[in-house]
Amino acid sequence: MKENVSCLIEKTIRNLVESGRLPVLEKVEVVVEFTRDKKHGDLASNIALTLSKSCRMNPRDLASLILQNIPTTSFLDHCEVAGAGFINFFLSKDALSKLLLEIIDKKERFGCNNEGKSVPILIEFVSANPTGPLHVGHGRGAAIGDSICRLMRANGWNVQSEFYYNDSGQQIRNLALSVQARCLGIDPQNPDWPDDGYCGEYINEVARAYLDGETLEAKDKSVTGAKDPELLDEIQEFAVTYLRREQDRDLANFNVNFDSFFLESSLYSSGEVERIVQEIIDSGYTYEKDGALWLKTTQFGDDKDRVMRKQDGTFTYFVPDIAYHINKWERGFKNALNEQGADHHGTITRVRAGLQALKKNIPEKWPNYLLHQMVTVVRNGEEVKISKRKGEYLTLSELVNEVGSDATRYFLVARAPNSQLIFDIDLAISASNDNPVFYIQYAHARISSVLRKMTELDSDWMKKMNLSNSKLILEEEHLIMQHLMKFPEIIKQAAQQYEPHTIANYLRELAGEFHSYYNSYKVLVEDKELRESRIMLSMGVRQVIANGLNILGVSAPEEM
């Protein structure tokens, strides 16, 4: 509807220019916004204020001229000039009725658009080291990343989601050494326990499975425990596969599924890391110092140069990241987004510096990054400590088992990624209006109950409805319809800004408006036309709630 009004204004101004009543204008940018107060109509534009100087007219006079020449249309009831020169637009009942018809007709496609035009985009998220179970911080990345994928698909992008397994490096070796120690009967209190070893109980579980000769079926391989505690490489492969399988299972239970998986180890086995390092050396952006190879990252905005290859010949962690991103680029993903924790902030400049050093015409700000802040989990008003090395952290699977996938996903995505998040377990499991996910789902269930009652009264009621004669005249009904009208724009803006939390906030507001309306007015009234109009309104709310929850990866229950 905003686009319709915007096009109407543009057409009117163009006609006024062509008729000589306005001077030739170099650039006309029409902005139309939803109003906050029904007294000011449904939509408003400040176009007269922005063009008054170019047109050498008083803003109110210019607004009046525009209004006098706007063509008659069925979706506008009337327009008026307000304030210093704003133009307010009041939508007709016909427009609002057509909105409900559109929602009912499009169903799950309502709110979607083709802004992305099927352009490929690779979205990488979670990408945890397979050294332990996923914790709540990984869960926040999973909820945000997967919701962004759903948002981008709703906006017409060709999305591929990818999980990058960091299955190489010293942390992986520490994992293998930790499992080996457990296989040998060494516990963390023993002085022979490896430095920086992982101490969680899950290490014991991996060791027992290895010694029992368990066979693991992962997505890309089958591994059987060799039972020999002296075979460190076999232990490492088994442990990584065990934990990858566990992470995959936890994510599937969290309603997160990836289109592709990428192994860091493949970059070494294929020679890609060595190749990329040599290309950077050949580009002239490296130098030798103190037995190490350095990248001149200061030439690309870093505060100091960074070591690429250490004295012992191993590569620092960001080097395979450069090779991985070259792989993304060479796969054709000119659009890429990495959703990661805030602790990855330092990686951004280094990876981009390496990409620029390769002189492959990669944009300076490629790939895009979205960093999420920490999550503090509280139960009974007390923080649940998270400490991966000590094995005392709350895992994602434990949280999901306690509060459910729906509540976990909603709470982890309901705030802007750059805001720290307090996850209140007690609130998340409460069946109260204070619990936003319960509040939203209950609105969907309430409407589903109304529709079931209608079916009990008349199984063919849908076929008999007159959907073209709206009797919705209450201010509360108008506010709900105006809220429904905003949904496509909310979807579009949320995708453009990578902000799925705006969907969560929108749904809570819509649910609040409907609950208030439902508590004040009966839907299944005796008057047939009024009943059908209110059922249509309820169906519109139900569909939009379902569509919004689906973007967040949250279910829309029929009963609660």
| CATH code for the domain of 45 | 3.30.1360.70
Name residues whose C-beta falls within 8 Å of residue 188's C-beta, 6 or more positions apart in sequence. 197, 199
Residue 457 is assigned to a structural domain of this protein: yes
Contact assessment for residue 425 and residue 378, using Cβ atoms and an 8 Å cutoff: yes
Nearest-CA neighbor of 541 among 466, 479, 490? 479
Q: Are residues 444 and 533 in the same domain?
A: yes
Q: Are residues 443 and 532 in the same domain?
A: yes
* pLDDT given for residue 463 in this prediction: 82
CATH number at residue 510: 1.10.730.10
Last residue of a domain, one of 91, 115, 133: 91
* pLDDT given for residue 37 in this prediction: 79
Residue 371 is assigned to a structural domain of this protein: no
Residue 194 is assigned to a structural domain of this protein: yes
- Euclidean distance between CA atoms 458 and 428, whole angstroms: 38
Residue 399 is assigned to a structural domain of this protein: no
- Euclidean distance between CA atoms 484 and 3, whole angstroms: 15
What are 450-454's contacts with CB under 8 Å, separation 24+?
450/523, 450/524, 450/535, 450/538, 451/535, 451/538, 451/539, 451/542, 453/524, 454/524, 454/535
Last residue of a domain, one of 237, 253, 269: 253
Residue 13 is assigned to a structural domain of this protein: yes
- Per-residue model confidence as pLDDT tens for the chain (560 residues): 888 899 999 999 999 999 999 999 888 899 999 888 778 889 999 999 999 999 999 999 999 999 999 988 888 889 999 999 999 999 888 888 889 999 999 999 999 999 999 999 999 999 999 999 999 999 999 999 999 999 999 999 999 999 999 999 899 999 999 999 999 999 999 999 999 999 888 999 999 999 999 999 877 789 999 999 999 999 999 999 999 999 999 999 999 999 999 999 999 999 999 999 999 999 999 999 999 999 999 999 999 999 999 999 999 999 999 999 999 999 999 999 999 999 999 899 999 999 999 999 999 999 999 999 999 999 999 998 754 434 567 889 999 999 999 999 999 999 999 999 999 999 999 999 999 999 999 999 999 999 999 999 888 888 878 767 678 889 899 889 999 999 999 999 999 999 999 999 999 999 999 999 999 999 999 999 899 999 999 999 999 999 999 999 999 999 99
What's the predicted TM-score (pTM) here? Answer: 0.92
Contact assessment for residue 147 and residue 414, using Cβ atoms and an 8 Å cutoff: no
Contact assessment for residue 130 and residue 167, using Cβ atoms and an 8 Å cutoff: yes
- CA atoms within a 13 Å half-sphere pointing along the CA-CB vector of 400: 23
What sign has the CA pseudo-torsion 199, 200, 201, 203?
Answer: negative
Last residue of a domain, one of 202, 222, 253: 253
Q: How many domains is the chain built from?
A: 3
SS3 at position 512: helix
SS3 at position 409: helix
Q: Are residues 436 and 543 in the same domain?
A: yes
Residue 537 is assigned to a structural domain of this protein: yes
Based on its alpha-carbon atoms, the radius of gyration of the chain, rounded to whole angstroms, reads 29
Domain coverage including residue 68: 2-91
Contact assessment for residue 40 and residue 82, using Cβ atoms and an 8 Å cutoff: yes
Residue 222 is assigned to a structural domain of this protein: yes
Task: DSSP for 415-455, please give it.
Answer: S-TTS-EEEEHHHHT--STTSHHHHHHHHHHHHHHHHHHHH
Q: Are residues 78 and 187 in the same domain?
A: no
DSSP 134: -
Query: 111-143 pLDDT, tens per residue?
Result: 999 999 999 999 999 999 999 999 999 999 999
Q: Quick one: angle between helices 396-403 and 136-154, nearest 10?
A: 70
* pLDDT given for residue 387 in this prediction: 45
Show the beta-strand stretches assigned E in 83-214: 86-91, 120-125, 158-165
Burial 415-429 (b: 16+ CB within 10 A, else e): bbbeeebebbbebbe
Residue 323 is assigned to a structural domain of this protein: no
